[in-house]
């Protein structure tokens, strides 16, 4: 077990190193380089690149796994590298104006992007176009518990809560299948959740936190409103959470 | 070594005890005197004999383990703000520690203390001064109601409430409402997948090509082999019959003059044909279709066996012999018998080709 852990951490390390390598190929172009590139490529060529980036991101987003800048550069932008910032800016404009989406760079350190929906969803009108994904409910429960418990919870609390909802992480669920894998692997890779070891615990214990995607995709205020609705209380009765939710809402706008 | 370990564990205990004070007001008046004693006798050989009683130590360890177990089992229970169980556990640990003399037991005490402080921290985190506290179990109950969970009567007798009926669309119902909290970009999918429909990629084609001939080769190989065996057998039989025909016709031409064996089999133009003839003729002898005898000059002669002639002689007249021939002796025979041409004509068609 501990050996597995070690291997995993090594993998992570080598992954991190890989990322650095990838990033190494992406050096900030100098102003003169950008200038030269702008002269080298015709506007039509650049338009085409922008369209390619938009398509690449849209398709990559199907799996909801954040898209790495290194991948965009490697697979699409290629020799237009020095125009990267121009292209991404224009792609973002396309997402906003054409698709009503927003390209968000989460965690400026690792340069990964996600798409979020810019359009306000009205409560009354059901979104009939895309039927609800039951995993959203599962995610809501977990994120809700984490948020209401002040930002991080031990995994046992999550498992216990889910168990009350007839979802047992050790068993195959008829709706979700391997629940533990969805929660600790899929949701983590999608950056909805962080699943980290609590230091100095014996036996090993893990805790959950909100991932970067959740931070930019989930409205804490709306979540609190729904939770309050469930409890038949006012959202304000959880003073601390309400304060956090409203300040997050203001900063997101 | 045991001394340093003990010191280390004591250090962590003291540190942890500081934490615990805030929650349960843990105090250990007896410990300070205890440790004082310990320090005096802490040299490698300084352990008192009564302290080293294995049975006593085992008992202490077992008591500690029971205590640790019970804490781990009743975790949720101990976290309940309404009771004082955590304090009781610490009291009990204090009693146990009075008898601890050695590092192993002290380590267990430290382990328990880590567990207890952890619980204490969690208990403290429940005491949010502002607003109402959030209770995950109540949350779960509200969620169940929202999801249309149907509680049956049996559910009331407490046990985690695992009875009841969950409608199949329960999670969909929750998701539908919950997705208003998410600004998830709707993902679109192409009706025919994200790639242009093209003929299969070349890699596949290569694979198929490589596969096909190997399959065919596999299929052909055994049949080829069979044919060869068959044709070979047939060829031998045919050849034997042909030679018998030759022998019989020569015999019929002149039944009185014996046919010399060597004259019959030797082909002066080909050593290998000679060997083949010898080989095939041997079948005639074996099957009793021809016989070999020595004439007055002690030279082997060959003659076909008439039908019915074999019966009276019976098996006792049969003998075996080995005919050996080398290119040298073959040439000698040709010279000695002055053989000009083969009595057995070369077969017109090679057996392999037929």
- Give the strand pairing for A206-210 and A193-197: antiparallel
pLDDT tens across A88-110, in order? 999 999 999 998 899 988 877 77
Query: Comparing C-alpha atoms, which of B305, B109, B184 is closest to residue A121?
Result: B184
Contacts of B303 (CB under 8 A, 6+ apart): B247, B251, B258, B259, B290, B291, B293
**pLDDT at residue B202 is higher than 70:** no
Residue A209 has pLDDT above 90, yes or no: yes
Q: Report residue A177's pLDDT band, with 50, 70 and 90 as the boundaries.
A: confident
Q: How far apart are CA A173 and CA A159, in angstroms?
A: 13
Nearest by Cα to A88 from A66, A63, A69: A69
What is the pLDDT at residue B316? 52
| B22-31, B229-238, B278-287: the lowest-pLDDT one | B22-31
Record: contact A145-B136, CB cut-off 8 A = yes
Is the pLDDT at B43 greater than 50? The verdict is no
Task: Name residue B242's beta-bridge partners.
Answer: none
SS3 percent helix, strand, coil of chain B, rounded to 5, is 60, 5, 35
| Contact state of B182 with A136 under an 8 Å Cβ cutoff | yes
CA gap B109, B14 in Å, rounded = 12
Q: Give whole-number Cα distances, B226 to B222, B232, B235, in Å.
A: 6, 10, 14
B246 in Cβ contact with B347 (< 8 Å): no
Q: Check: CB of residue A135 under 8 Å from CB of residue A176.
A: yes
* pLDDT (0 to 100) of residue B221: 54
- Cβ contacts (< 8 Å) between B165 and chain A: which residues? none
A211 interfaces chain B, CB cutoff of 8 Å:
no
Residue B47 to residues A181, B7, B110: CA-CA distances in angstroms? 52, 15, 21
From residue A113, alpha-carbon distances to A88, A133, B114 in Å are: 11, 22, 41
> Phi then psi for B99, rounded to 5 degrees?
-100, 0
Separation CA A97–CA B311 (nearest Å): 112
Residue range A124-135, pLDDT digits in tens: 555 555 567 888
Of the listed ranges A11-15, A174-178, B176-180, B241-245, the one predicted with least confidence: A11-15
Secondary structure element (H or E) that encloses residue A76, with its range = none
**ipTM of the complex, rounded to two decimals:** 0.78
Task: State how far residue B204 is from chain A, nearest Cα, in angstroms.
Answer: 23
**For A112-122, how does the pLDDT look when each residue is reduced to its tens digit (9 = 90+)?**
899 988 887 66
Predicted confidence band of residue B317 (pLDDT cuts 50, 70, 90): low
Option in A123, A131, A217 nearest B183 (CB): A217
State pLDDT tens for residues B291-306.
Answer: 888 888 888 888 888 7
* Cβ separation B172–A132 shorter than 8 A: yes
Strands A112-117 and A101-106: antiparallel
What are B60-118's pLDDT values in tens digits?
899 999 988 888 888 777 777 777 888 888 898 888 888 888 888 899 899 888 888 88
Average pLDDT, integer, range A52-66:
89
Inter-chain touch B171–A134, beta carbons under 8 Å:
yes
Q: Is residue A20 scored above 60 in pLDDT?
A: no
- Mapped onto helix, strand or coil, the DSSP state of residue B326 is coil
The residue with greater pLDDT, B272 or B347, is B272
Whole-angstrom CA distances from A103 to A100, A129, B52, B185, B191 are 10, 22, 69, 10, 24
Inter-chain contact B184–A127, Cβ cutoff 8 Å?
no
In this prediction, what percent of chain B has a pLDDT beyond 70? 63
- Residue A5, pLDDT score: 46
Confidence at residue B101, expressed as pLDDT on a 0 to 100 scale = 86
Question: B41 pLDDT band (50/70/90 cuts)?
Answer: very low
What DSSP assignment string belongs to B269-315?
T-HHHHHHHHHHHHHHHHTTSEEEEE-TTS-EEEEEPPTTTHHHH-G
The C-alpha atoms of residue B19 and residue B140 are separated, in whole angstroms, by: 32
Check residue B218 and give its pLDDT.
Answer: 54
Question: Residue B34: pLDDT band by 50, 70, 90 thresholds?
Answer: very low
Instruction: State the pLDDT at residue B130.
Output: 55
Say if A159 is an interface residue toward chain B (CB within 8 Å).
Answer: no
B347 phi, psi to nearest 5 deg: -60, 140
Give CA–CA dist B228/A94, Å, rounded.
Answer: 74
Instruction: Choose among A59, A130, A157: nearest Cβ to B136.
Output: A157
Whole-number Cα distances in Å, A69 to A47, A50, A94, B185, B290: 19, 14, 18, 19, 94
For residue A210, what pLDDT band results from cuts at 50, 70 and 90?
A: very high
**The Cα angle at residue B341 between residues B338 and B346, in degrees rounded to 5:** 145
| A33-68 per-residue burial string, b: 16 or more CB within 10 A, e: under 16 | ebeebeeebeeeebeebbebbbebbbbbbeebebbb
Pick B136's closest partner by Cβ from A64, A115, A161.
A161
Whether the CA torsion B38, B40, B42, B44 is positive or negative: it is negative
- Residue-level pLDDT at B15: 41
d(CA A236, CA A57) in angstroms, rounded, equals: 39
- Is pLDDT at A75 greater than 80 in this prediction? yes
Q: Which residue of A has its CA nearest to B195?
A: A59
pLDDT at res. B2 = 43
Q: How many CB atoms lie within 10 A of CB B303?
A: 18
Is residue B180 scored above 60 in pLDDT?
yes
Rounded to an integer, what distance in angstroms lies between the CA atom of residue A202 and that of residue B114? Answer: 9
- Indicate the pLDDT class of residue B160, thresholds 50, 70 and 90: very low
Encode pLDDT of B119-131 as tens digits. 888 787 766 555 5
Q: In what order do the strands lie in the sheet with A206-210?
A: A152-154, A206-210, A193-197
Contact A136 B111 (CB under 8 A): no
Residue A224's pLDDT is what? 92
Per-residue pLDDT at A194: 93
Structure confidence at residue B47 (pLDDT): 54
At residue A223, the pLDDT reads 92
**pLDDT given at position A211:** 92
In chain A, what residues touch B73 (CB-CB under 8 Å)?
none
In the predicted structure, residue A51 carries a pLDDT above the cut 50? yes
Question: A250 - beta bridge partners?
Answer: none
In whole angstroms, what is the distance from residue A161 CA to residue B135 CA? 10
Residue pair B264/B302 in contact by the 8 Å Cβ criterion: yes
Task: Report the SS3 class of residue B347.
Answer: coil
Query: CB contact, 8 Å: A115 with chain B?
Result: yes
**Mean pLDDT over all residues of chain B?**
72
* Beta carbons of A190 and A114 less than 8 angstroms apart: no
Query: How many other C-beta atoms are found inside a 10 Å radius of the C-beta of residue A172?
Result: 9
| Boundaries of every domain in chain B | 55-128, 258-307+320-337
Contact A166, A229 (CB under 8 A): no
Sequence-ordered list of residues with C-beta below 8 angstroms from that of A151, at least 6 positions apart, any chain: A209, A210
């Amino acid at each position: 077990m501990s050996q597995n852990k070690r291997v995993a951490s090594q993998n992570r390390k080598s992954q991190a190193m890989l990322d650095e390598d990838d990033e190494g190929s992406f050096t900030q172009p100098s102003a003169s380089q950008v200038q030269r590139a702008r002269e080298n490529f015709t506007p039509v060529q650049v338009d085409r690149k922008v369209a390619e980036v938009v398509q690449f991101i849209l398709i990559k987003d199907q799996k909801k796994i954040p898209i790495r800048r290194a991948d965009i550069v490697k697979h699409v932008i290629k020799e237009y590298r020095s125009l990267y910032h121009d292209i991404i800016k224009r792609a973002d404009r396309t997402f906003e104006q054409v698709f009503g989406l927003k390209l968000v760079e989460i965690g400026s350190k690792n340069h990964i992007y996600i798409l979020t929906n810019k359009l306000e969803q009205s409560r009354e009108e059901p979104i009939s176009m895309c039927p609800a994904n039951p995993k959203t409910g599962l995610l809501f429960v977990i994120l809700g518990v984490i948020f209401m418990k002040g930002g991080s919870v031990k995994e046992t609390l999550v498992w216990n809560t889910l168990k009350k909802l007839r979802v047992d992480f050790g068993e195959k669920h008829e709706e979700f299948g391997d629940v533990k894998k969805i929660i600790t692997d899929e949701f983590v890779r999608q950056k909805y959740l962080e699943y980290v070891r609590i230091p100095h615990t014996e036996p090993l214990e893990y805790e959950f936190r909100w991932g970067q995607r959740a931070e930019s995709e989930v409205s804490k205020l709306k979540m609190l409103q729904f939770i309050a609705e469930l409890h038949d209380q006012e959202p304000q009765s959880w003073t601390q959470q309400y304060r956090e939710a409203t300040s997050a809402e203001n900063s997101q706008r | 070594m045991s001394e340093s370990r003990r010191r280390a564990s004591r250090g962590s205990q003291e540190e942890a005890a500081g934490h615990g004070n805030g929650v349960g007001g843990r105090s250990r008046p007896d410990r300070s005197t205890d440790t004082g004693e310990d320090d005096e006798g802490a040299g490698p050989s300084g352990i008192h004999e009564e302290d080293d009683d294995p049975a006593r130590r085992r008992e202490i360890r077992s008591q500690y383990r029971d205590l640790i177990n019970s804490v781990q089992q009743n975790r949720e229970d101990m976290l309940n703000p309404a009771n004082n169980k955590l304090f009781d556990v610490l009291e009990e640990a204090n009693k146990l520690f009075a008898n601890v003399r050695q590092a192993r037991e002290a380590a267990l005490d430290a382990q328990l203390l880590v567990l207890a402080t952890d619980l204490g921290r969690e208990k403290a985190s429940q005491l949010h001064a502002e607003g109402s506290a959030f209770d995950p179990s109540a949350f779960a109950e509200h969620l169940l109601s929202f999801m249309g969970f149907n509680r049956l009567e049996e559910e009331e007798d407490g046990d985690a409430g695992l009875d009841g009926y969950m409608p199949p669309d329960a999670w969909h119902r929750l998701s539908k409402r919950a997705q208003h909290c998410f600004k998830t970009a709707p993902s679109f999918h192409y009706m025919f997948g994200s790639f242009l429909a093209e003929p299969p990629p070349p890699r596949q084609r290569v694979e198929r090509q490589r596969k096909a001939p190997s399959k065919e080769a596999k299929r052909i190989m055994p049949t080829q082999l069979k044919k060869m065996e068959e044709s070979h057998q047939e060829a031998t039989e045919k050849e034997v019959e042909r030679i018998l025909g030759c022998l019989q016709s020569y015999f019929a031409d002149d039944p009185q003059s014996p046919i010399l064996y060597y004259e019959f089999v030797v082909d002066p133009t080909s050593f290998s044909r000679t060997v083949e003839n010898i080989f095939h003729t041997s079948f005639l002898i074996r099957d009793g279709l021809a016989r070999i005898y020595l004439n007055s000059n002690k030279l082997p002669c060959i003659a076909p066996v008439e039908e019915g002639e074999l019966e009276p002689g019976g098996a006792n007249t049969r003998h075996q012999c080995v005919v050996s021939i080398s290119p040298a002796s073959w040439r000698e025979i040709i010279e000695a018998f002055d053989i000009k041409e083969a009595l057995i004509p070369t077969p017109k068609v090679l057996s392999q080709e037929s």
